[in-house]
Amino acid sequence: MDIDTDGGLSRNLFGKDFKWGVSTAAYQIEGSHDIDEKGSSIWDVYTERKNKILNGHHGKIACDFYNRYPEDLDLVKQLNIPNFRFSTSWSRILPNGTGAVNQKGIDFYNRVIDKCLENGTDPWLTLYHWDLPHALEQKGGWTNRDVISWFSEFAVVCAKHFGDRVKNWIVMNEPMAFTGAGYFLGVHAPGRTGAKNFIPAVHHTVLSISEGGRILKDLLPDAEIGTTFSCSLVEPFNSYPRNIAAAHRIDALLNRMFIEPILGMGYPKDDLWFLKKTAKYFHPGDEDKMAFDFDFIGIQNYTREIVKSSFFTPYVQASLVKARKRNVPFTSMGWEVYPQSIYEMIKKFNAYKGIKKLYITENGASFDDVISKGEINDTKRTDYIRNILAQVLRARSEGLNVEGYFAWTLTDNFEWTEGYHPRFGLVYVDFDTQQRIIKSSGHWYANFLKG
């Protein structure tokens, strides 16, 4: 159901209660990494390490959102985007992770929230988007069970200071991404590897998500409390039974491992044998504590994955077949452009019992943008979003639960291990001058939202 024109696709078709937004994350945009008594985060430390980030890039300045938030929030308004999702940097608020609160950090997020409200934009606050305070990593980070109480303390501080104005909360961003990349593969901060780090990190993260949800709901009974999960359509390379079985395992790993315990179904241990190792980290009562009834679940989908069985890959015996090798269109991240993936993911999450409201809390695409006469005509990005929205609409027309769409992202920003090369923004950033230029995709989104 690809569509080339806007004919047939309009905001009205999604209904007046459908939430439209744009998503960002603290480390990727804020910069000012050591200003106003901010403590170090694991990303401040990791980006200092040799050969970890492409071209040695780091987030010390990033998009300078710390200073330029008024202009950037004015852009959100100018683009007719009613909801702005951002995350709080834990070490800006609690420089040591626990203990003394940094008033200057609180003041900054208060300014951001107040500016949103002044502009008529609803702020959506994500507590944790991957930037753990370094002081806590030194004590074991997500592998240390104490992280549940450290995270709870952070959640309480944020609820107390921002809860009077923020009505939509997201406890955590994509647990699979930060535990997998940061504690198993070692390609994200803090750069740890192996099951001995990954398994406890997974279990403590699940418990922190549900505990974070309980704390926010308790302190802010009128707020909407959610959390987000990454997901990708996973399909076998062909119909050989061993590839079908491999795809089944990768689906459990990428799509089911975190949502299922949160929904009270436990870990998918029958499909991923190594999750039995979580038993070592279980305390009495954990099975119940892992579950929490969130007001909404956010799913974040960018692509689909094609999987082959691979005898030599530990734990999952499966590998991904890159889009480059499959003769399909792909983005500058090397991710296949496959809009139907989002429809399939909406369907998959609808099949679970107990999800009250489902939002797409991130989706977008990186392409190499070219400036010509001061303009960026990024038709590929516009087509990508438009085709995705057609799939979201298809899901809605079939009666599936999907109540919102947040584009990733407002401005080009620091794309983790890939540095500043991949550009995901609706707004172009010249990182030498910090000049912003609204791309044609941004103008398209603004017009679309105007209705």
Binding residues for substrate: 28, 129, 173, 302, 408, 415-416
| CA proximity to 167, closest of 125, 114, 127, 126 | 125
Question: Rounded to the nearest whole angstrom, what is the least distance from the CB of residue 374 to ligand BGC in the complex?
Answer: 26
Q: Could you say whether residue 211 binds ligand BGC (CB under 6 A)?
A: no
Compare residues 44 and 362 and give the one whose CB is closer to ligand BGC. 362
* Residue choice 137, 174, 235, 305 for contact with ligand BGC (CB under 6 A): 174
Rounded CA gap, 406 and 396, in Å? 16
Q: Is 174 a catalytic residue?
A: yes
DSSP 77-114: HHTT--EEEEE--HHHHSTTSSSS--HHHHHHHHHHHH
> What DSSP string runs through 120-180?
TPEEEEEEESS--BHHHHTTTGGGSTTHHHHHHHHHHHHHHHHTTT--EEEEES-HHHHHH
303-322 core/surface letters (b: 16 or more CB in 10 A; e: else):
bbbbbbbbeeeeebebbbbe
Q: Which stretch binds ligand BGC (CB under 6 A): 56-64, 173-181, 273-281, 340-348?
A: 173-181
Taking CB under 6 A as the criterion, the residue among 226, 415, 423, 444 binding ligand BGC is 415
User: Which residue has 């390490």 as its token pair?
Assistant: 49
Nearest to 123 by CA among 68, 181, 175, 163: 163
Closest approach of Cβ 230 to ligand BGC, in Å?
5
In the set 211, 224, 235, 362, the catalytic residue is 362
User: CA 131 to CA 47: how far, in whole Å?
Assistant: 12
Interface with ligand BGC (CB under 6 A), residue total 11
Q: What is the nearest approach in angstroms of ligand BGC to the Cβ of residue 201?
A: 17
Q: From residue 345 to residue 364, what is the string marking binding to ligand BGC with x (rule CB under 6 A)?
A: -----------------x--
Question: In the annotation, is 362 catalytic?
Answer: yes
**Which of 30, 137, 174, 336 is flagged as catalytic?**
174
Query: What minimum distance in Å lies between the beta carbon of 418 and ligand BGC?
Result: 8
Interacting positions 7-26 with ligand BGC (CB under 6 A): 25
Residue numbers of the site for ligand BGC (CB under 6 A)?
Answer: 25, 28, 173-174, 177, 230, 300, 362, 408, 415, 424
